[in-house]
Amino acid sequence: MRDRGSPQGRRVVLGITGGIAAYKAPELVRQLRAAGAEVRAVLSRSATRFVAPGALAAVGAELIDDEDTGMLHIDLARWADVVLIAPATAHLLARLAIGAADDLLTTLCLATEAPLCVAPAMNRVMWEHPATRANHAQLLGRGVLFVGPGQGPQACGENGPGRMSEPAEIVAFLERLWSETGVLRNIPALVTAGPTYEALDPARGFTNRSSGKMGYAIAAALAEQGAQVVLVSGPTALAAPPRVHRVLVTSAVEMREAVLAHRDGLRLFVGAAAVADYRPETISPQKLKKQADSLTITFVRNPDILAEVAQWQPRPFTVGFAAETEELESHARTKLEKKGLDLVIANPVGEPGAGFGEDQNRVTLIDRDRTVAWTAAPKTEIARRIVTEIIKRLPRNTHA
């Protein structure tokens, strides 16, 4: 098993105990996976009365066999970035309070150094019973994090405290925990994404087919790791990712101004935008009328934002993209060297399944020491892996 604390930061051991709310566990797993987490599920013996293990596997959880007699509890305890128990019965709280270790779940809870979150679920009278109150207080005192319980109608027909928090509330709790404990906690980062639009007249202009998906996925992946992300975006149809501050721009000149406005303290820059290298020398105030059979337009150079950022003193860790149609590696390496970048992500454009507008991409990572080609994958997955590679390379004082 991979050791705990690797940059991914979202490894969840999900303990499921025998409360009726366990039927919500597959939905909780689905939402955790959508939030970029890996989930290993440990079911108590009574939990299987309420949730079929196959339903958990079907939504992407890795089922852990409680009968394993090896060092599994230690392996899991070290793998986990968080141990979440949902639902957590009154009996489970009591066993945690006394430090029981009579099954895999309670044993790994004793062995782990990861945050322990519990989502209680029980009848309202059981929740308010002095024994449960005492266990709750004792566990709070030891730093156990409680999600809920909520108030409301209960499976037994009664109404009151003790209802397990909804999966979305539990995931939102972990998102907050991760953003406060993410590897890039509070590191200022800026990502450019999308195309630029270079106006010719009020009705026409020049742009490209960038959808913004790659840059938005990187911004989202950085925010997942707790970075303070500014996303400077050209025109796209995409919504801003959660916990990302988006600045919408149109032209390359505007994009540069937005980047400069966020220069102070910036520690990481990722240039994923397809920035036009040229713009029309003149923007006509009126719509150009059809006249001669041909039209000649003079273009002038746009600022090279990435190259400029890489020259800042002090400068952020600077990552560029390279959109190539041929000789991908050599062209990308030239960009790395000529612009003085820390890392270049090269991708082919003009072929199906990669580049502009696609949900997938196929990238090659190039830095001073090596070239690593990855196979095609969804841009969201590639973005998380790029962020992991960036985290490995960031100067040590940049980490939270």
The catalytic residues are 156
- Which residue of 82, 349, 383, 387 would you call a contact of ligand PMT, by CB under 6 A? 349
As given in the structure block, the two tokens for residue 72 are: 């599994």
Q: Does 357 bind ligand PMT (CB under 6 A)?
A: yes
Nearer to ligand PMT, 51 or 322 (CB): 322
Closest CA to 244 of 267, 266, 213, 223: 223
Q: Does 50 bind ligand PMT (CB under 6 A)?
A: no
Q: Does 210 bind ligand PMT (CB under 6 A)?
A: yes
Q: Does 305 bind ligand PMT (CB under 6 A)?
A: yes
Q: Does 362 bind ligand PMT (CB under 6 A)?
A: no
Q: Does 241 bind ligand PMT (CB under 6 A)?
A: no
Nearer to ligand PMT, 88 or 344 (CB): 344
Q: Does 77 bind ligand PMT (CB under 6 A)?
A: no
Q: How far is the CB of 377 from ligand PMT (least distance, A)?
A: 13
Q: Does 269 bind ligand PMT (CB under 6 A)?
A: no
Q: Does 91 bind ligand PMT (CB under 6 A)?
A: no
Q: Does 80 bind ligand PMT (CB under 6 A)?
A: no
Residue 238 burial (CB count, 10 A) = 16
As given in the structure block, the two tokens for residue 400 are: 């939270």
Gap between the Cα atoms of 195 and 356, Å rounded: 10
The answer to whether the beta carbons of residues 118 and 86 sit under 8 Å apart is yes
Gap between the Cα atoms of 148 and 93, Å rounded: 14
DSSP 376: P
Q: Does 212 bind ligand PMT (CB under 6 A)?
A: yes
Gap between the Cα atoms of 297 and 300, Å rounded: 10
Q: Does 356 bind ligand PMT (CB under 6 A)?
A: yes
Q: How far is the CB of 257 from ligand PMT (least distance, A)?
A: 13
Closest CA to 316 of 368, 221, 393: 393
- Which residue of 17, 120, 320, 387 would you call a contact of ligand PMT, by CB under 6 A? 320
Q: Does 257 bind ligand PMT (CB under 6 A)?
A: no
Choices 99-107, 183-191, 289-297, 355-363 (CB under 6 A): range interacting with ligand PMT: 355-363
Q: Which residue has the tokens 């790029």?
A: 386
Choices 34-42, 176-184, 222-230, 350-358 (CB under 6 A): range interacting with ligand PMT: 350-358
Q: Does 211 bind ligand PMT (CB under 6 A)?
A: yes
Largest Cα span, the chain:
90
**Dihedral-angle region of residue 353 (phi above 0 means left; psi in -120 to 50 means alpha; beta otherwise):** left
Closest CA to 258 of 246, 270, 276: 246
- Which residue of 88, 321, 365, 387 would you call a contact of ligand PMT, by CB under 6 A? 321
Q: Does 365 bind ligand PMT (CB under 6 A)?
A: no
For residue 275, which amino acid is it? V
DSSP 280: E
Q: Does 337 bind ligand PMT (CB under 6 A)?
A: no
Gap between the Cα atoms of 370 and 195, Å rounded: 29
- Which residue of 171, 271, 310, 316 would you call a contact of ligand PMT, by CB under 6 A? 271
Per-residue H/E/C for 63-120: ECCCCCCCCHHHHHHHHCCEEEEEEECHHHHHHHHHCCCCCHHHHHHHHCCCCEEEEE
| Residue nearest to ligand PMT as judged by C-beta position | 271
Q: Does 64 bind ligand PMT (CB under 6 A)?
A: no
Strand duo 299-301 + 343-348: pairing: unpaired
- Which residue of 218, 323, 336, 365 would you call a contact of ligand PMT, by CB under 6 A? 323
Residues pairing with 301 in the sheet:
278
The answer to whether the beta carbons of residues 149 and 161 sit under 8 Å apart is yes
Q: How far is the CB of 7 from ligand PMT (least distance, A)?
A: 21
- Which residue of 106, 112, 233, 302 would you call a contact of ligand PMT, by CB under 6 A? 302
Q: Does 149 bind ligand PMT (CB under 6 A)?
A: no
Where on the chain is the footprint of ligand PMT (CB under 6 A)?
Answer: 192, 194, 210-215, 252, 271-275, 277, 302, 304-306, 320-323, 335, 347, 349, 355-357
